[in-house]
Amino acid sequence: MIIITTILSLLFIGYTSLLLYYRSSWKSIPIPPAADTENVIAAVFISVIIPARNEEKNILALLESLKQQTYPRFMFEVIVIDDHSTDATASVVQHSGIENVRLIRLKDAVDNASLNSYKKRALETAITSSKGELIVTTDADCIVPPKWLQTIAERFTENNAAMMVMPVVINYQKRFIEIFQALDFMTLQGITGAGVYKKIHGMCNGANLAYTKTAFNEADGFKGIDHIASGDDMLLMQKMTKQQKTIIYIKSEDVIVGTNAVISIKEFFQQRIRWASKADKYEDKTLFPVLLTVYLFNLSLLAGGVAGIIIGGYFAFFICGILILKILAELYFLYPVSEFFKMKKLLWYFPLMQPFHIVYTVIAGWLGKFGSYSWKERKVK
């Protein structure tokens, strides 16, 4: 037992140290002034690119939110790239009646037999056809705020960054799985912002990402990573980091993009397994040790919890103590992040979610390496 308790204690110290560092880093990120809608400076033409597959229920709401942008309509275009949808996605886009929206069908541009990553090819096809100096990507099930493009343009003009990473929030209802996702995703967003700001490791989300077409081309786009089904965001970021491109994080309420929660535990696991499947593809030497520490700590807690139930006594109290300290450390990290996202009330649910969080981390991490998953009705090994 001494060896097990020592290992768990060391992992806890490492895990807590990471959380304290992320909290400090997150709080250090400067918040830019709100965009002035009375004096909009149209300094860069923007191409908004939206890959879509079977999104007939969601795509119109996104297009309507783009219609409400404060950025001048003549200074941006919207390209929806339909990825072999079997529903009415293309028809909804065509009959939306919204200006500056263009539809491209991926099936008209590529040979299916040669594809493994449909999303990367969809993005690449749209970027090739785009007119913008600045590429902004989002997902078809998202909603963007009115000052989204204006704020992105202002920060780009100010920093001349090759890539801009921005916050994403989960839209949730009262289901357990949706509340859990909102909390889990908020944690990832805090780590993302802290990591990008401190330049210690690169994390981002394609639901809210911007980069220049020049930087994309200089990185050879998705060449070399196009055999990997997902990773159109972080693996591209990794390529730009290797080229020492300027990458910034925009910590502004005006660019928070909302995305829908999945509504079943099965869908949730499929999503997280897909995310975990990229872990061994990262060349970032700082990210893998972090992922490994988190995984081993949760694995040790799960194994220790089972052992504590069987053995009881001192060891059971030790595991309970470590679990309580873990929850407190995570809440301490999450508090300033939840303030930014205006989700402090969700923190009350956080302790109740711990058992599921530990179990899902272990299972998704394992299956991400050794299993397969489904994505957009396609099975991926």
Q: Is residue 157 predicted with pLDDT exceeding 70?
A: yes
147-162: average pLDDT: 95
Rounded Cα distance between 147 and 149, Å, is: 6
77: which strand partners? 47
Quick: pLDDT tens for 66-77. 999 999 999 999
Compute φ and ψ for 196, nearest 5 degrees: -65, -45
Rounded Cα distance between 15 and 5, Å, is: 15
Quick: pLDDT tens for 218-249. 999 999 888 776 778 999 999 999 999 999 99
Cβ density class 244-253: b for 16+ within 10 Å, e for less: ebebbbbbbe
Share the mean pLDDT of the chain: 89
pTM (2 d.p.): 0.89
Rounded Cα distance between 232 and 205, Å, is: 9
Helix ranges (H only) for 140-206 are: 148-159, 176-198
Q: What's the farthest any 2 CA atoms get from each other in the chain?
A: 70
Q: Is residue 99 predicted with pLDDT exceeding 70?
A: yes
Helix, strand, coil percentages for the chain (3-state, nearest 5): 55, 15, 30
Quick: pLDDT tens for 40-93. 878 899 999 999 999 999 999 999 999 999 999 999 999 999 998 999 999 999
Task: Identify the band that residue 378 occupies on the pLDDT scale cut at 50, 70 and 90.
Answer: low
200-211: average pLDDT: 92
Annotate 296-333 with DSSP letters as a single string: HHHHHHHHHHHHHHHH-HHHHHHHHHHHHHHHHHHHHH
358-373: average pLDDT: 74
Q: Is residue 376 predicted with pLDDT exceeding 60?
A: no
177-196: average pLDDT: 94
User: Is the CB of residue 19 less than 8 Å from the CB of residue 332?
Assistant: yes
Considering only 30-34, 89-93, 178-182, 364-368, which range has the smallest mean pLDDT? Answer: 364-368
**Residue 58's closest CA among 92, 103, 94, 85?**
92
Q: Is residue 152 predicted with pLDDT exceeding 90?
A: yes
User: Is the CB of residue 51 less than 8 Å from the CB of residue 78?
Assistant: no
> DSSP class of residue 31?
P
Q: Is residue 316 predicted with pLDDT exceeding 90?
A: no
Report the 3 state secondary structure along 247-294: EEECCCHHHCEEEECCCCHHHHHHHHHHHHCCHHHCCCCCHHHHHHHH
Q: Which residue has the higher pLDDT, 268 or 138?
A: 138
Considering only 190-194, 225-229, 246-250, 367-371, which range has the smallest mean pLDDT? Answer: 367-371
pLDDT at 41: 79
Rounded Cα distance between 255 and 269, Å, is: 28
> DSSP class of residue 101?
E
279-303: average pLDDT: 80
Task: Identify the band that residue 28 occupies on the pLDDT scale cut at 50, 70 and 90.
Answer: very high
Q: Which residue has the higher pLDDT, 360 or 116?
A: 360
pLDDT at 379: 59
